[in-house]
């Protein structure tokens, strides 16, 4: 746990990951990884010498808010323990065991700015990387594998109106903004299945008195399911807010991975071998899986220790036992993939000599 503890002590909110990235670059180089920091600050580390490329993609940034790093009752507390330095540390600890592998080359990637815009993951897509399979580092619990995440789109609402006396019936700009929010909530009511529903959240609202003009600015966050109709959303907004300036941010579509592949089967086998009962999860947030999954088009899952209900909370902590179990599982997964790759290499060699 010393590696993870040191990672937690290096506070790294989004866009402030440089110190952590440099520490990991130098530390992993001493462990036998080939390491570098790319143009946006992502950590790129490779180990092993095999033809099969396994990408373990975590993120180094956290939300803001420092939490004193400490161990109490078998739990490690600190900002990022769950989301998601714990997963990245598991990736490193497992990958280092494959230094001499002739079957796998394991890439450990620590992305920047996942918590705000997935800048690091988007930069990876600009590179000529072609993984054979991918594991995204996010808390799933050691017995579970995450197959999908909802999408997201931000809604920025701005309305300017001449001021009116508060004793008059004329709605204030704040009331108009709130009516817009309520209209969206009514258009997209919560369903029984959260992954398949739209969630409309009010993030921020501010009003300004500018003398001859009143102004309201509001930010909403929509979490969206597979197949969400963005065109219909724009049309609906135009009908309910004709006088407002409404801007949609760049959408991140929802994503769900296939579970019928060797990567998923390796996880199921490894979890059972560790004494667990494997299950699949579909998350209601978003992650770098939304960005990388559709673009790379290879087997992909998200996996990592921790309870995602603790994400972003002031009580964020990780069970040391769960950390060790997750490391055991991921190591077994890499070994399973290595064995399969060796068998393929041998088969190709036999066919070549015929």
The one catalytic residue in 17, 61, 83, 199 is 61
Full pLDDT tens readout for the chain, 354 residues: 899 999 999 999 999 999 999 999 999 999 999 999 999 999 999 999 999 999 999 999 999 999 999 999 999 999 999 999 999 999 999 999 999 999 999 999 999 999 999 999 999 999 999 999 999 999 999 999 999 999 999 999 999 998 876 777 788 999 999 999 999 999 999 888 999 999 999 999 999 998 889 999 999 999 999 999 999 999 999 999 999 999 999 999 999 999 999 999 999 999 999 999 999 999 999 999 999 999 999 999 999 999 999 999 999 999 999 999 999 999 999 999 999 999 988 887 776 666
Catalytic residue among 17, 114, 119, 322: 114
Are 233 and 249 spatial neighbours (Cβ–Cβ below 8 Å)?
Answer: no
- Determine the Cα–Cα distance for residues 295 and 192; give it in Å rounded to an integer: 30
- CB-count burial class (<10 Å; 0-12, 13-18, 19+) for 208: exposed
**What's the pLDDT score for residue 168?**
76
Contact 158, 244 (CB under 8 A): yes
Q: Determine the pLDDT at residue 166.
A: 72
Distance between CA atoms of residues 77 and 137, nearest Å: 18
**151-248 has which fold?**
Alpha-Beta Plaits (3.30.70)
Strands (E) in the chain, as ranges, are 34-37, 43-48, 52-59, 70-72, 75-77, 104-111, 133-137, 144-149, 151-161, 199-209, 214-224, 245-248, 255-256, 279-283, 300-303, 317-319
For 78-128, the pLDDT digits (tens) are 999 999 999 999 999 999 999 999 999 999 999 999 999 999 999 999 999
Phi first, then psi: give them for residue 335, nearest 5 degrees.
-65, -40
At residue 352, the pLDDT reads 66
Q: Residue 114 catalytic?
A: yes
Contacts of 195 (CB under 8 A, 6+ apart): 148, 150, 225, 282, 283, 284
- Predicted pLDDT at 101: 96
Instruction: Please give the pLDDT value at position 165.
Output: 66
Query: Which regions of the chain carry the CATH code 3.40.630.10?
Result: 2-149+255-350
Quote the CA–CA distance of 42 and 125 in Å, as a whole number: 12
Superfamily name and number for 2-149+255-350: Zn peptidases (3.40.630.10)
Q: Whole-angstrom Cα distance, residue 245 to residue 161?
A: 12
Q: How far is CA 66 from the centre of its chain?
A: 20
Asked if 34 is an active-site residue, the reply is no
Could you report the per-residue pLDDT of 5-21, keeping only the tens digit for each? 999 999 999 999 999 99
Instruction: Give the residue range(s) of CATH 3.30.70.360 domains in the chain.
Output: 151-248
């Amino acid at each position: 746990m010393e590696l993870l503890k040191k990672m937690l002590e290096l506070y790294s909110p989004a866009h402030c990951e440089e110190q952590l990235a440099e520490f990991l670059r130098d530390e992993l180089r001493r462990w036998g990884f080939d390491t570098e920091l790319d143009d946006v600050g992502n950590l790129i580390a490779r180990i092993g010498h095999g033809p099969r490329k396994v990408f373990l993609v975590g993120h180094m940034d956290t939300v803001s808010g420092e939490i004193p790093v400490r161990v109490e009752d078998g739990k490690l507390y600190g900002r990022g323990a769950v989301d998601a330095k714990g997963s990245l540390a598991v990736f490193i600890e497992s990958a280092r065991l494959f230094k001499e592998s002739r079957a796998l080359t394991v890439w450990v990637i620590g992305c920047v700015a996942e918590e705000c815009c997935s800048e690091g993951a988007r930069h990876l897509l600009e590179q000529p990387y072609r993984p054979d399979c991918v594991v995204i580092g996010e808390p799933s619990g050691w017995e579970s594998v995450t197959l999908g995440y909802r999408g997201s789109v931000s809604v920025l609402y701005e309305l300017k109106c001449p001021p009116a006396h508060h004793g008059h019936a004329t709605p204030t700009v704040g009331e108009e903004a709130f009516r817009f929010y309520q209209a969206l909530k009514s258009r997209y009511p919560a369903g029984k299945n959260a992954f398949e529903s739209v969630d409309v959240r009010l993030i921020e609202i501010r009003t300004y008195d500018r003398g001859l003009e009143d102004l309201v600015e509001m930010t909403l966050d929509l979490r969206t399911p597979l197949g969400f109709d963005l065109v219909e959303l724009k049309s609906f907004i135009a009908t309910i807010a004709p006088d407002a300036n409404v801007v949609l941010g760049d959408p991140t579509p929802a994503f769900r991975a296939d579970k019928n592949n060797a990567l998923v089967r390796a996880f199921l086998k490894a979890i059972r071998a560790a004494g667990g009962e494997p299950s699949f999860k579909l998350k209601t947030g978003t992650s770098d899986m939304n960005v990388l999954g559709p673009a790379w088009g290879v087997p992909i899952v998200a996996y990592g220790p921790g309870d995602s209900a603790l994400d972003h909370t002031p009580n964020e902590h990780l069970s040391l036992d769960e950390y060790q179990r997750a490391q055991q599982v991921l190591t077994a997964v890499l070994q399973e993939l290595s064995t399969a790759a060796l068998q393929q290499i041998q088969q190709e060699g036999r066919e070549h000599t015929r």
